[in-house]
Amino acid sequence: MRTVGDDLDVELWFPTRPAQRFSLWIYPFPCASKVYVIVYFSILYLRYQAGKVTDEMLSLPKSPLIAIGLLEALAAASGMAAGAILSGAAIPVLSQSFLVWQLVLSYIFLGRRYRFNQLFGCFLVAVGVIITVASGSGTGSLMEAGIFWSILMIISFLLQAADTVLKETIFLDAAQRLKGGTVDLFVINSYGSAYQAAFICILLPFLSNLWGIPFGQLLNYLKDGAACFLNVGAMSNRCNGAPLLPVLFVIVNMGFVASAQDLFSCGILSCFHTFRYWLASNVV
């Protein structure tokens, strides 16, 4: 049965697509991660002062959150590198692999069991992605962009799926440690974003080459990215829509992440409808 959370999750997902394409075009480097850290920890502090976040929640083991940060950093880096090369029509097709990866990983690590029609639907999705990647050689096709970038985008969705499964294990573990309680979403979001930003900084030498940016020019690139984000200086005539669209992406994406994790805290099966509508929305 559909829930309000399902509908909110899907409705928040739609506006992130054009805004994300805008952010990929301007910033192969995910500089917005610093914004996430500031905003998330500000909200976490307010919720702590209000008593909604407890010391027990903050004392939960940090190693799973470090793993989340690493997965999110690698997923963002690989996804943005591939997204800058692939055509806009290719990304929604390849994103279908997220559903397949998540069901596979949840089956292995969470012991989830799915009905035949669910597994058959994922099989059809996987076949469709494979056929799309392997066929076509015209302008804007995946083969024209190169098989490497298609595989890299699929790996990005694998990392995202692993991230969501890991988050669900955190919710399950927290329910035991907190004696039936639930860890606040912003505890996971805040620390996950902080570790993600840290790993991005550590991986900069490798990531800059992946994005086609010489490491010696990275500082100037970041300065240009900041000017483009604020739509000031010499970059103002090259960044139409800034800063409104990047800020819109950050706001809506944060709402989407929060609503999605609220569903994850109830288990993947309870939010299967979300991914079904997500799947349908990408095919249309």
pLDDT (0 to 100) of residue 257? 66
pLDDT (0 to 100) of residue 67? 96
pLDDT (0 to 100) of residue 218? 76
pLDDT (0 to 100) of residue 63? 95
What is the SS3 string spanning the chain? CCCHHHHHHHHHHHHHHHHHHHHHHHCCCCCCHHHHHHHHHHHHHHHHHCCCCCHHHHCCCCHHHHHHHHHHHHHHHHHHHHHCCCCCCHHHHHCCHHHHHHHHHHHHHCCCCCCHHHHHHHHHHHHHHHHHHHCCCCCCCHHHHCHHHHHHHHHHHHHHHHHHHHHHHHHHHHHHHCCCCCCCHHHHHHHHHHHHHHHHHHCHHHHHHHCCCCHHHHHHHHHHHHHHHHCCHHHHHCCCCCCHHHHHHHHHHHHHHHHHHHHHCCCCHHHHHHHHHHHHHHHC
Q: Model pTM?
A: 0.75
For residue 217, give both structure tokens.
């020019």
pLDDT (0 to 100) of residue 24? 44
CB 236 within 8 A of CB 229: no
The closest of 218, 213, 253, 243 to 72, measured between CA atoms, is: 253
pLDDT tens track of the chain, all 284 residues? Answer: 444 444 444 444 444 444 444 444 444 344 566 777 888 899 899 999 999 899 999 999 999 999 999 999 999 888 888 887 887 777 888 888 888 898 899 889 988 888 888 888 888 888 888 787 776 555 555 666 678 888 999 999 999 999 989 988 998 898 888 887 888 888 998 999 899 989 988 887 777 777 777 777 878 877 777 777 777 777 667 777 777 777 777 777 777 666 665 665 555 444 444 444 344 334 43
Residue 202 sits in which domain range?
4-283
Position 103, amino acid: L
CB 247 within 8 A of CB 3: no
| CA dihedral sign of residues 8, 282, 272, 192 | negative
Residues 6+ apart with CB under 8 A from 114: 103, 107
pLDDT (0 to 100) of residue 250? 72
- As for how many domains the chain has, the answer is 1
